[in-house]
Amino acid sequence: MGAQIVNREFVDELYGEGELYSAYGLYERKAHGYKVFKVPLNARFVCPNWDGRLSEDGCAFCPSHAKQFTYQNFREVIDKGFTEQIRHNVEHYKSVGAGEKGLVYIAFGTNTYAPVEKLRQILDETVSAHEDVIGFTVGTRPDCLPEEVLDLLGEYRSSGYEVWVEAGQQTTHQHTLREMNRQHGLAELIRAVDECHAREIPLLSFIILGMPGESHDEMMETARVISAMGVDAVKIYPLVVMKDTKLARMWEGGSYKSLGFMEYVNLVADFLEHLSPYVLIQRLSKDCGLEIKHAPEWNTYRNIVTPMVKKKLGERGTMQGSRHKLTLAADELIPLAEDKPGEFYEELKAQRKKKDA
Ligand code: SF4
């Protein structure tokens, strides 16, 4: 546990160029020598937390109409074949100058929740849909990655495709996972990271800040835990109160209050400071329209969080990893207490207080 797949030399170069956090997009450009864009694919997967396999209630923040989470620009092809969706999106992103090559993001639902041979068919179609596709990234739950699926993903990786797993973990705290009806714990993510890394596949984790009942210290501990596990990248989101969810009922009843804009900006800055400097940052927020959510209102408009987080880090004079510390350094392993029999710490503290007064 702990060794990442990301190339730390590229990340160090980013910091050397003055970046305050290790942005995934900049890293990818360094790794490939060209700009890579993500190509959303709706492969029509459902979720075991909705269909009764794990539960019929879904996560407390997940609307049952989750399929409406589509990107505006490809709603018109959503019902067409996978190849058509990918071609349409690759051409669209290239035409707006998003980059040279695409990484297909299989994004909607739990995208490994299907028999392995069906997955193989979908992934074969994905990588051969367009000459500018360099691989894929699969959004899934950390408990939906059996050996057979991991081996399948590993086959594409061994064939030279870029392969990522994006695991919806959201938090490392059991009480929140239970409250949100996630139906998995932290152990599933620990295993998923190890198994992906064994196949040279990097793993991204989704993290939500502002979960009900989760303290500031607990959110920072999530940053520390995923760093210690060797998670390669993260997407950080505020908890959004989508309509028709259990969370919406909590919000309507007054037992949940969503984060304010500056509250979230400060939390993200804190989270980045506690995170390892080598965890790539793929997103710092999530924007969606008022028609499908109750709150917060501020994340309706695209991309207002990222510049504010950069500004906040700049004002603080800090950066990603500033407060990341999981051990004393070797040159700090020098006892401040003298080895005198009978002199214990209370006495020592009293002496220090006297000296400082
Ligand atoms: S695992 Fe994902 S798709 Fe399934 S209910 Fe939870 S948030 Fe929704």
- Give which of 280, 173, 195, 185 is closest to 232, Cα–Cα: 280
Kindly state the tokens that stand for 119. 């997955």
Would you say the CB of residue 247 lies under 6 angstroms from ligand 1? no
Let me know: does 23 contact 280? Beta carbons within 8 Å: yes
Ligand 1 centroid, distance to 61 Cα (angstroms): 8
Ligand 1 centroid, distance to 109 Cα (angstroms): 6
Let me know: does 174 contact 182? Beta carbons within 8 Å: no
Would you say the CB of residue 236 lies under 6 angstroms from ligand 1? no
User: Given the DSSP bridges, would you call strands 241-242 and 293-295 parallel, antiparallel or unpaired?
Assistant: antiparallel
Supply the DSSP string of 50-100, one letter for each residue.
TSSSS-SS--TT--TTGGG---GGGGGGTTS-HHHHHHHHHHHHHHTT--S
Ligand 1 atom 7: residue of nearest CA: 62
Ligand 1 centroid, distance to 309 Cα (angstroms): 28
Kindly state the tokens that stand for 123. 């992934």
Quote the CA–CA distance of 56 and 48 in Å, as a whole number: 8
pLDDT at 357: 76
pLDDT at 351: 78
Let me know: does 183 contact 55? Beta carbons within 8 Å: yes
- Which stretches of the chain drop beneath a pLDDT of 50? 67-74
Would you say the CB of residue 50 lies under 6 angstroms from ligand 1? yes
Ligand 1 centroid, distance to 258 Cα (angstroms): 20
Quote the CA–CA distance of 354 and 357 in Å, as a whole number: 5
- Give which of 142, 139, 144, 171 is closest to 61, Cα–Cα: 171
Would you say the CB of residue 139 lies under 6 angstroms from ligand 1? no
Q: Which of 59, 111, 177, 189 to mutate to test the pocket of ligand 1 (most atoms within 8 A of CB)?
A: 59
Report which ligand 1 atom has the smallest distance to the Cα of 141: 1
Tokens 């950390």 identify what position? 142
Tokens 């979908």 identify what position? 122
Would you say the CB of residue 109 lies under 6 angstroms from ligand 1? yes
- Give which of 155, 153, 151, 147 is closest to 165, Cα–Cα: 153
Element (H, E) at 311: helix 305-316
pLDDT at 275: 98
- Give which of 353, 351, 261, 262 is closest to 315, Cα–Cα: 262
Instruction: Tell me: cis bond preceding 146? Omega within 30 of 0 counts.
Output: no
Report which ligand 1 atom has the smallest distance to the Cα of 47: 4
Let me know: does 174 contact 201? Beta carbons within 8 Å: no
Would you say the CB of residue 58 lies under 6 angstroms from ligand 1? yes
Rg of the chain, C-alpha, whole Å: 22
User: Given the DSSP bridges, would you call strands 203-209 and 162-170 parallel, antiparallel or unpaired?
Assistant: parallel
Let me know: does 153 contact 165? Beta carbons within 8 Å: yes
pTM: 0.93
Ligand 1 atom 6: residue of nearest CA: 59
Ligand 1 centroid, distance to 47 Cα (angstroms): 6
Would you say the CB of residue 47 lies under 6 angstroms from ligand 1? yes
Report which ligand 1 atom has the smallest distance to the Cα of 50: 5
Ligand 1 centroid, distance to 296 Cα (angstroms): 20
* DSSP-assigned letter for residue 236: E
Phi, psi (rounded to 5 degrees) for 233: -155, 165
Ligand 1 centroid, distance to 30 Cα (angstroms): 33
Contacts for 283-289: CB closer than 8 Å, 24+ residues apart: 283/235, 283/236, 283/237, 284/236, 284/309, 285/236, 285/237, 285/238, 286/237, 286/238, 286/240, 288/69, 288/240, 288/242
Question: Torsion-angle region of residue 108: left (phi > 0), alpha (psi -120 to 50) or beta?
Answer: beta
Fold entry, domain 8-330: pyruvate-formate lyase- activating enzyme (3.80.30)
Quote the CA–CA distance of 211 and 267 in Å, as a whole number: 12
Element (H, E) at 167: strand 162-170
Residue type, 8: R
Would you say the CB of residue 240 lies under 6 angstroms from ligand 1? no
Let me know: does 103 contact 135? Beta carbons within 8 Å: yes
What do you get for the CA distance between the two ends of the chain, in Å?
45
Residue type, 342: G
Predicted confidence (pLDDT) per residue in 263-317, tens digit: 999 999 999 999 999 999 999 998 888 888 999 999 887 789 999 999 999 999 9
Ligand 1 atom 5: residue of nearest CA: 58
Element (H, E) at 353: helix 345-356
